[in-house]
Amino acid sequence: MIDDSDGWSNVRSGKSTQSSILFRIYENQRFKILRTEGKWSYIDYNGRKGYMHNSVIKIDSSPKKTQASDAKTAKIIGDNIWVRNSPTNGDVVMYLENNTEVQLLGYCCNETIRGKNNYWYKIDLDGKRGWVFGSQLRFIDKKFDKVKTPPKKEIKDYLSSAYYRNIVSYWSFNGNINAQKGNSFYKSSSYSIDFGTDRFGNYNSSYNDSNQLSSSLGSSSFGNNDFSLSFWINSSSYGDKKIFKIIDSDDKYISVDLQDGEIILKLTTPGQYWGTNTNNYSSSNSISGNRWSHVLISFNFNPNSDDFSYRVFVNGRVSEDSRRMLNSTNFKPTRLETSSINSLNLDDVSFWKNVFSNSDYNYLYNLHRSTDITRAESTEFSN
């Protein structure tokens, strides 16, 4: 741009005020500086080139104007994003979380906010409408998605921060026993580990081995004694199968077993006077043989007593709700172990430091059910 009180500046054939005038640049017209030669610059204005004195040139530092998107859908970028009833200074009508998908109804009003130039987009979410600034949207029409949506590689790319921060540990078993978050598993022997096919048909992508695995959960991870265990399981046969042990100490632990298609919880605690007590609790929904099923067990500690209540979810449904586990005496998980698995496949095992509500569970189940998270692929998994 120019900075000339006359409102225009001459572009000349050479680096002198005596050189002939080729054309003029007027106020607010933008041009490119091709090179600077002393007190003069060689410029390009829509294909016309010549010399202009540096004293009348003003560098335009304003952000480049963003092109409006014609996408029909988008996802929210960030947590607690404000949605207004009108662009710029409208009242906030709702807050949206990261990865929430919205419909785009139109746009208006290009402006620059905190150095970012974009348009305001009118959105719709289940009948609720408002305006979101474009820098807080990731457009997901195919035309734009290839450029603007980065590949998703980890569990944190799929979850909002509100969910992600509650994960203590997550193991995907894609050819190893490392953790995507938290502490990795360690095996009990020097033998190599066998991995099977996961629910999406990927080879070497689920745990299928007799090696006993153990991982430290770290009791300091739990602000209170609430916790949950989530996993996918495929059992090729019925019978009594041991899956996990959630351990507080050597004499206080919860065994998670599969017995003739039912999830069985066995709480072992020190006796009041001697020995140990073991109480069995079973879920009502049966797990079918030779197919993948999702299980989530959520434990809720009552700080005013020594009892836990628990909930078991199987394949999107509540299997057992708010049953009491007696004499738990302030159970706090410190370690998770797999048992010597026989005729079982496990996948996407995660341990959480919160209790799951129905809506929280449905969110996690539907995410796992339709998305091969660690491969950034999406497919449909039928019931």
Looking at residue 313, its amino acid is F
Distance of CA 279 to the CA centre of its chain: 37
Same domain, 143 and 267: no
Exposed (0-12), middle (13-18) or buried (19+): which is 190, by Cβ within 10 Å? exposed
Q: Tell me if 199 sits within 8 A of 382, measured CB to CB.
A: no
What is the count of structural domains for the chain?
Answer: 3
Same domain, 127 and 258: no
More confident residue, 348 or 189: 348
Which of 117, 148, 179 is the endpoint of a domain? 148
At 147, is the secondary structure helix, strand, or coil? Answer: helix
Looking at residue 158, its amino acid is Y
Same domain, 98 and 159: no
- Other beta carbons less than 10 A from residue 235's beta carbon: 22
The full 3-state SS of 91-143, as one line of letters, equals: CEEEEECCCCEEEEEEEEEEEEECCEEEEEEEEEECCEEEEEEHHHEEECCHH
Same domain, 121 and 163: no
Same domain, 352 and 252: yes
Structure tokens at 174: 């894609």
Residue 240 within a domain: yes
Residue 372 within a domain: yes
Residue 65 within a domain: no
Domain that holds residue 220: 155-378
Same domain, 322 and 368: yes
Looking at residue 332, its amino acid is K
Per-residue pLDDT tens for 146-198? 434 455 567 777 887 888 889 999 998 888 899 888 899 998 877 788 888 88
Residues β-bridged to residue 265: 256, 281
Residue 221 within a domain: yes
Residue 372 has pLDDT above 90, yes or no: no
Residue 68 within a domain: no
Q: Give the model's confidence band at 323: pLDDT under 50 very low, under 70 low, under 90 confident, else very high.
A: low
Structure tokens at 240: 């009594």
Tell me, what CATH number does 324's domain have? 2.60.120.200
Residue 350 within a domain: yes
Same domain, 177 and 240: yes
Per-residue pLDDT tens for 196-208? 888 887 778 888 8
Same domain, 140 and 15: no
Q: What's the residue count for the chain?
A: 383
Q: What's the rounded Cα separation, in Å, for the pair 314 and 233?
A: 11
If you search the block for the tokens 């090729």, which residue do you land on? 236
- C-alpha distances out from residue 206 to 48, 198, 295, 343, 349, Å: 64, 5, 15, 13, 10
Same domain, 88 and 199: no
Measured in degrees and rounded to the nearest 5, phi and psi for residue 238 equal -90, 180
Residue 66 has pLDDT above 90, yes or no: no
Residue 61 within a domain: no
Range from 118-127, 140-149, 289-298 carrying the lowest mean pLDDT? 140-149
Among 210, 192, 235, 174, CA closest to 338? 210
Same domain, 159 and 237: yes
Per-residue pLDDT tens for 81-92? 999 999 888 899
Q: What's the rounded Cα separation, in Å, for the pair 97 and 101?
A: 9
Which of 100, 124, 148 is the endpoint of a domain? 148
Which of 116, 148, 180 is the endpoint of a domain? 148
Same domain, 19 and 109: no
Q: For the whole prediction, is pTM greater than 0.75?
A: no
Tell me, what CATH number does 42's domain have? 2.30.30
Q: Give the model's confidence band at 14: pLDDT under 50 very low, under 70 low, under 90 confident, else very high.
A: very high
Q: What's the rounded Cα separation, in Å, for the pair 86 and 92?
A: 9
Residue 262 within a domain: yes
Tell me, what CATH number does 126's domain have? 2.30.30.40
Same domain, 105 and 191: no
Per-residue pLDDT tens for 136-151? 998 876 554 443 445 5
